[in-house]
C-alpha cells in the first residue's frame, strides 16, 4: 500500500478533543499578547513586513520550487504546502530570546501572523497546491472549500486569541502567572499527540519516515535560510535577522496536523509530514538558537524591553 493510500488511525473523539486543545493552546498564547504588540509595528514596520513576506510569500513559493524539483508523493507534497501556509509557532519567541535576537519583533510577528493565518493559511494551501498537478488532483478528490477551512481556523485561532487578550487586559496578574504553564502545556500536549499517533500507526511511520524526514529537514532548513537572507538583503539589524529567520523556520505544525484530520481524513503523507515537522523544527530551532547565543550581534540600535525579556525567560524556565 502506497503512502498516498495510507489512512492514519485516529478516532473521531480524539479529533474533537484535539480541536478543543488547540483552541485552548491559542488561548494560552494570547495571554502573552497585548495591543501594544501590534502597535509596535507602526513605529518600525520594515522588519515585520519583511518577516511576514518571508512567512506567507517566500516560504510557500520556495515550497513549490522544492516540490517541483523533488516531486515527492502527492500527499507528502500537500503536507509540505499546508505546513508552509501555517503561521509561526509560539516556541519561536523563546528561541529568539535564546538566540539573542529581537524578542519584541518575534512577539509582534507571532501575533500578526497568527491573525493573518485565518485568511492566509487556507488561501496559500489552496493556491500553491492547485498549481502543482498531483496535489491539485488530490485536493479535488476531497472537495474542500476555502470557506470551510477558514471557518475552522477562525474557531481554533481567532476566538481563543480574542478571549485570551481580553483576559490579559482585565485579569493581568492571573494571566502573567499562567503564561509559563500554558507554553509548557502546549508543547507537552503536541508531543503527546504525536506520540499517540505514531504509536497507533507505528508500522506505517517506520516504513515511510526515512523518505519524509529528508525532505522535511531540507524544507525546514530552507525556511530558516530564506527568512535570514531576506532580512539580510534588505539591510535590517542582525538581531532582526535572527528573529525573522526563526519565525520563518518555526511553523505551527500542530495547527497543520489538526487541519489534516479535519479536512483530509488524516491522509497518511500529510499527517506524517506535519508530525515530523513538529518534532524536527524544535531540534533545528534549538540548534540555531544555541549557536547564535554564543555569538553576540555585532551592531544593534534596538532597545529591548527588559521586562519583556525577563518575563519570557521566567515563563520558559
- Per-residue model confidence as pLDDT tens digits over 110-119: 878 888 888 8
Query: How many residues in total does the chain contain?
Result: 317
- Please state at what angle helix 45-53 crosses helix 35-43, rounded to 10 degrees: 100
Pinpoint the alpha helices (H) of the chain.
Answer: 12-30, 35-43, 45-53, 59-70, 74-85, 91-98, 103-130, 133-142, 146-153, 159-170, 172-200, 202-233, 238-249, 253-263, 268-293, 306-315
Task: Provide the whole-model pTM.
Answer: 0.77
Determine, yes or no, domain membership for 283.
yes
In this predicted model, what pLDDT tens digit does every residue of 249-292 receive, in sequence order? 998 877 888 888 778 877 778 888 888 887 788 889 889 999 99
Determine, yes or no, domain membership for 295.
yes
**Alpha-carbon distance values, 156 to 25, 162, 195, 249, 274 (Å):** 9, 11, 22, 22, 17
| pLDDT band per the 50, 70, 90 thresholds, residue 313 | very low
Determine, yes or no, domain membership for 177.
yes
Question: For the chain, what is the domain count?
Answer: 1
Nearest to 229 by CA among 240, 218, 219: 240
Domain holding 36, by residue range, is 9-315
In this predicted model, what pLDDT tens digit does every residue of 200-210 receive, in sequence order? 666 666 777 77
Determine, yes or no, domain membership for 61.
yes
| 46 CB neighbour count, 10 Å cutoff | 13
Angle at 116 between CA 138 and CA 259, to 5 degrees: 35
Determine, yes or no, domain membership for 157.
yes
| pLDDT band per the 50, 70, 90 thresholds, residue 61 | very high
CATH number of the domain residue 263 falls in: 1.20.1530.20
Determine, yes or no, domain membership for 4.
no
Determine, yes or no, domain membership for 3.
no
Determine, yes or no, domain membership for 175.
yes
Amino acid at each position: 500500500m502506497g503512502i498516498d493510500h495510507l489512512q492514519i488511525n485516529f478516532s473521531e473523539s480524539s479529533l474533537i478533543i484535539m480541536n478543543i486543545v488547540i483552541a485552548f493552546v491559542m488561548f494560552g498564547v494570547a495571554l502573552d499578547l497585548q495591543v501594544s504588540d501590534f502597535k509596535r509595528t507602526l513605529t518600525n514596520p520594515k522588519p515585520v513586513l519583511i518577516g511576514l513576506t518571508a512567512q506567507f510569500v517566500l516560504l510557500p513559493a520556495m515550497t513549490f520550487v522544492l516540490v517541483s524539483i523533488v516531486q515527492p508523493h502527492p500527499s507528502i507534497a500537500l503536507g509540505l504546502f499546508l505546513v508552509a501556509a501555517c503561521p509561526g509557532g509560539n516556541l519561536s519567541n523563546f528561541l529568539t530570546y535564546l538566540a539573542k535576537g529581537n524578542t519584541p519583533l518575534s512577539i509582534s510577528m507571532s501575533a500578526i501572523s497568527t491573525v493573518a493565518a485565518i485568511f492566509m493559511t487556507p488561501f496559500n494551501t489552496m493556491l500553491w497546491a492547485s498549481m502543482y498537478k498531483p496535489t491539485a488532483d488530490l485536493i479535488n478528490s476531497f472537495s474542500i472549500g476555502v470557506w470551510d477551512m477558514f471557518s475552522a481556523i477562525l474557531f481554533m485561532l481567532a476566538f481563543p486569541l480574542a478571549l485570551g487578550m481580553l483576559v490579559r487586559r482585565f485579569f493581568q496578574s492571573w494571566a502573567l502567572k499562567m503564561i509559563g504553564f500554558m507554553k509548557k502545556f502546549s508543547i507537552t500536549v503536541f508531543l503527546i499527540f504525536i506520540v499517540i499517533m505514531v504509536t497507533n500507526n507505528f508500522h506505517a511511520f517506520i516504513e515511510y519516515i526515512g523518505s519524509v524526514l529528508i525532505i522535511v529537514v531540507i524544507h525546514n532548513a530552507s525556511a530558516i535560510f530564506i527568512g535570514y537572507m531576506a532580512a539580510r538583503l534588505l539591510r535590517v539589524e542582525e538581531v532582526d535577522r535572527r528573529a525573522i529567520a526563526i519565525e520563518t523556520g518555526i511553523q505551527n505544525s500542530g495547527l497543520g496536523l489538526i487541519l489534516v484530520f479535519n479536512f483530509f481524513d488524516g491522509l497518511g503523507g500529510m499527517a506524517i509530514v506535519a508530525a515530523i515537522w513538529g518534532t524536527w523544527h524544535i531540534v533545528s530551532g534549538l540548534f540555531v538558537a544555541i549557536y547564535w547565543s554564543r555569538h553576540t550581534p555585532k551592531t544593534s540600535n534596538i532597545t529591548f524591553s527588559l521586562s519583556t525579556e525577563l518575563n519570557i525567560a521566567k515563563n520558559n524556565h
